[in-house]
Amino acid sequence: MARKKKIVEESYIPAPIAEELITDTLEKNYMPYAMSVIVSRAIPEIDGLKPAHRKLLYTMYKMGLLGGRLTKSANVVGQTMKLNPHGDGAIYETMVRLTRGNEALLHPLVESQGNFGKQYSRDMAYAASRYTEVRLDPICQELFGDINKNTVKFVDNYDGELQEPTLLPVAFPNILVNPNQGIAVGMASNICSFNLREVCDATIAYMKNPDCDILDIMPAPDFSLGAELLYNREQMREIYETGRGSFKMRAVYEYDKANNCIEIKEIPYTTTIEAILSKVMDLVKANKLKEISDARDETGLDGFKLTFDLKRGTDPDALMLKLYKLTPLEDSFACNFNLLINNVPMVLSVKQIIDEWVKFRSGCIKNALKFDVDKKSERLHLLTGLKKILMDIDKAISIIRHTEKEEDVVPNLMSGFDIEKDQAEYIAEIKLRNLNKEYILSRTAEIEKLIEEIDELNRILSSDKEVKKLIAKQLTAISKKYGQDRKTRLVESGEIEEYHEENFIDDYPLTLFITREGYAKKVSAVSLRSTTSEHKLKENDEVVQEIETTNKSELIFFTDKCTVYKAHAFDIPDSKVSSLGEYLPSLLGLSEDEKILYTVLAGDYSGYMLFAFANGKMAKVELNNYQTKSNRKRLIGAYSDKSEIRSILWIAEDTQIVAFADNNKVLAVDTSAIPLKSTKSTQGVQVMKITKKGATLVRACRAEESGLDNIKHYKTKNIPAAGSFLRSEDTQMSMF
């Protein structure tokens, strides 16, 4: 038995592991997934719908929910799973966004009853599908019109049991009317919504004149939540022409004088109540919003409302400027007009989107016209055959009566009246009671009308101009029937007063004490004059810098990680000499092992920064290199990291400095001899020659701070220079 087991074990040989390039694996496995997400899930198509939306709406259409009764959402979700292989949760979530109750769309596609959550709330959960009811909104008539006339292509569903449309024959540019957002693989889409009337008018104007200025007709996006759009025509033109860009939106508020509170009535489409309240409460806790005593959500049956209770004496307009700056009450919408055209993702301008929609809609109308022509031609063909028996009805009756076999009736009629098979079958199906002159005359009277209708349809079909006229007529009717006034108001951005923190902060003289361990004490001049206390410091800590300035001044902090941090004096809490002060690494957000080396008063960014390195090199850089247009708080690459930094100095103008090396050498040099460099991370030039192996420069300071009695002895005109040995009769401050 043991021998048999051993033979079995020895006979097992594991299959060799096949080696494959990772690029080949990605191409075979990941690329199909990526393309599936792009083409079949995340990016909308020219009808303004993603596949999940289209499958859901078509299922509701086939269920008779266009103009029908409300039905449980669970029924719709279950039926949609026949077309959409995703789970019920994903399908229901798709439906929620399309409903009137959710308020996400300017023109909702689904009428709803029950709780469907709200676009403006992150935490307001929608009810389960078994509790809510839905049906298609009347505007969906414009999405499904003529869908049964071969206007769009149909394909098999995932199991081949049913057919579904690849697109819906939308009669208006839904791609621009309702917002759409999607994140695919390696690309995304974010299309804002526009006013239906303006879109229809712009489309009609474009069909008449492709060179028209769309901005004159459709000036800016429009959103279901309203709010104010900070309008800049040139900025908007760039978005319209490139399909990319961003614009800002602001909340709309009212001041209730009786209750001394601000009521927010509309918020930007991109934010939520919870995001706003969370930010406001964080600022209140951080003592940066002293004007607000309470903030709460009062949204109810009367609509959206967010309330801020104010403290006595607060200027509501000034406070709102501050809130716009510090909270999501002012937010940006980033546009990315990326959509699928014939299964190819493209970022299009507004005109290009309208042009593609016109092409698509023209194709739908032509398909519908061809369908009507075929149906009417078929009817005309049958009636033409019926007209032939009018000459001899008795003959037709006789042929049918004297034909012995049923299958011979049609051939006998064909030979008897020289008609085709389908015409003969049509005649044979007429009831005997209807084979009379009156019936046949009433039917054949349609022939002339059918001929006229077919000629008219062919005339329209052969002319692109006539097709566009038909599109324009439909757009005008849709605009009149479903159009509504703009919800989002336009406010010229140049007329908007912006919040500048400095305008709302008291300015007063103060002294800033910086310690070696990174503590800062901001002591007002009044407090400093009246105090008799000594500095409270941690053990072995000492004050290394004392800066006299004002509360609105800007400060620049250089750290040992070649990084600069920026802050204002008002960012540092007031303190007293008798306190430890504020720990700057925590206040500025320094990394765990990062230390502040030097603090500079920015002022008007005049003067120079001088960096002295261990290898004897020094770099002189203009302070304005650290000035930025944006309000950046952190700059990397503040100075070179090629050699260890030993001293950092700010000098208003060229002056004399003294450098000390640990080989007991001292060098005095005028900074005018050090060339000015344009880049912050420069290594500078060699100033002090380090002649002794292993020696380094340990410190550089201004001549008046060096403690030397005889500076001239150490001075050099040319650099680099090794310096002179420290004389015993000179006194100095500690080198280390």
Q: What percent of the chain has pLDDT over 90?
A: 53
Helix (H) or strand (E) holding 558: strand 554-559
Average pLDDT, the chain: 88
Confidence of residue 501 (pLDDT cuts 50, 70, 90): low
Where in 450-553 does DSSP place strands (E)? 489-492, 509-515, 519-524, 543-550
Determine, yes or no, domain membership for 138.
yes
Same structural domain for residues 589 and 616?
Answer: no
Tell me the range of 233-242, 634-643, 649-658, 726-735 where mean pLDDT is highest. 233-242
Q: Domain of 422: which CATH number?
A: 1.10.268.10
Q: Which residues contact 368 (CB under 8 A, 6 or more apart)?
A: 146, 149, 150, 151, 169
Q: Mean pLDDT over residues 248-268, rounded?
A: 94
Lowest-confidence region among 1-10, 414-423, 466-475: 1-10
Is it the case that residue 5 has pLDDT exceeding 60? no
Secondary structure class of 687 (helix, strand, coil): coil
Q: How far apart are CA 473 and CA 174, in angstroms?
A: 17
Question: Final residue of a domain: which of 170, 201, 232?
Answer: 170
Same structural domain for residues 324 and 384?
Answer: no
Q: Domain of 316: which CATH number?
A: 3.30.1360.40
Determine, yes or no, domain membership for 4.
no
Determine, yes or no, domain membership for 557.
yes
Q: How far apart are CA 442 and CA 140, in angstroms?
A: 38
Q: How far apart are CA 705 and CA 432, in angstroms?
A: 125
Tell me which residue has tokens 């009417």.
Answer: 376
Is it the case that residue 352 has pLDDT exceeding 90? yes
Q: What is the pTM of this model?
A: 0.74
Q: Mean pLDDT over residues 185-205, rounded?
A: 95
Q: How far apart are CA 133 and CA 131, in angstroms?
A: 7
Q: How far apart are CA 519 and CA 596, in angstroms?
A: 10
Q: How far apart are CA 214 and CA 218, in angstroms?
A: 6
Q: How far apart are CA 211 and CA 658, in angstroms?
A: 70
Same structural domain for residues 318 and 422?
Answer: no
Q: Cβ–Cβ contacts within 10 Å for residue 387, how many? A: 16
Confidence of residue 731 (pLDDT cuts 50, 70, 90): low
Cβ 710 vs Cβ 727: under 8 Å? yes
Written as six digits, the tokens of 490 are 């336009």
Tell me which residue has tokens 């120079």.
Answer: 608
Same structural domain for residues 321 and 412?
Answer: no
Q: Domain of 144: which CATH number?
A: 3.90.199.10
Determine, yes or no, domain membership for 194.
no
Determine, yes or no, domain membership for 536.
yes
Residue 376, phi then psi, degrees to nearest 5: -70, -35
Instruction: List b or e across 314-330, with b for residues whose CB sees 16 or more CB atoms inside 10 angstroms.
Output: bebeebbbbbbebbbbb
Same structural domain for residues 111 and 135?
Answer: yes
pLDDT of 10 reads 55
Same structural domain for residues 587 and 609?
Answer: no
Q: How far apart are CA 378 and CA 423, in angstroms?
A: 10
Cβ 577 vs Cβ 534: under 8 Å? yes
Helix (H) or strand (E) holding 652: none
Same structural domain for residues 422 and 361?
Answer: yes
Written as six digits, the tokens of 142 are 């414009």
Same structural domain for residues 448 and 549?
Answer: no
Determine, yes or no, domain membership for 405.
yes
Tell me which residue has tokens 């999405």.
Answer: 143
Determine, yes or no, domain membership for 446.
yes
Instruction: List b or e across 488-520, with b for residues whose CB sees 16 or more CB atoms inside 10 angstroms.
Output: bebeeeeeeeebeeeeeeeeeebbbbbbbbbbb
Confidence of residue 12 (pLDDT cuts 50, 70, 90): low
Same structural domain for residues 120 and 154?
Answer: yes
Q: Which residues contact 473 (CB under 8 A, 6 or more apart)?
A: none
Same structural domain for residues 585 and 624?
Answer: no
Residue 430, phi then psi, degrees to nearest 5: -70, 135
Tally of domains within the chain: 5
Q: Domain of 625: which CATH number?
A: 2.120.10.90
Q: How far apart are CA 359 and CA 464, in angstroms?
A: 10
Between 390 and 574, name the one with better pLDDT. Answer: 574
Same structural domain for residues 444 and 552?
Answer: no
Structural domain including 724 reads 604-736
Residue 585, phi then psi, degrees to nearest 5: -55, -35
707 Rama sector, left if φ>0, alpha if ψ -120 to 50, beta otherwise: left
Question: Final residue of a domain: which of 146, 170, 194?
Answer: 170
Tell me which residue has tokens 């504020």.
Answer: 582
Same structural domain for residues 42 and 108?
Answer: yes
Written as six digits, the tokens of 396 are 């037709």
Active site residues: 131
Determine, yes or no, domain membership for 500.
no
CA distances from 225 to 228, 355, 487, 559 (A): 10, 28, 7, 46
Long-range contacts of 280-283 (CB under 8 A, 24+ apart): 280/308, 280/323, 280/327, 283/326, 283/327
Written as six digits, the tokens of 269 are 């489409």
Q: How far apart are CA 193 and CA 225, in angstroms?
A: 11
Q: In this predicted model, what pLDDT tens digit does every residue of 260-317 receive, in sequence order?
A: 999 999 999 999 999 999 999 999 988 888 899 999 999 887 789 999 999 998 889 9
Q: In this predicted model, what pLDDT tens digit does every residue of 63-97 receive, in sequence order?
A: 999 988 999 999 999 999 999 888 899 999 999 99
Q: How far apart are CA 643 and CA 621, in angstroms?
A: 17
Nearest to 51, CA basis, from 238, 261, 59: 59
Is it the case that residue 171 has pLDDT exceeding 90? yes
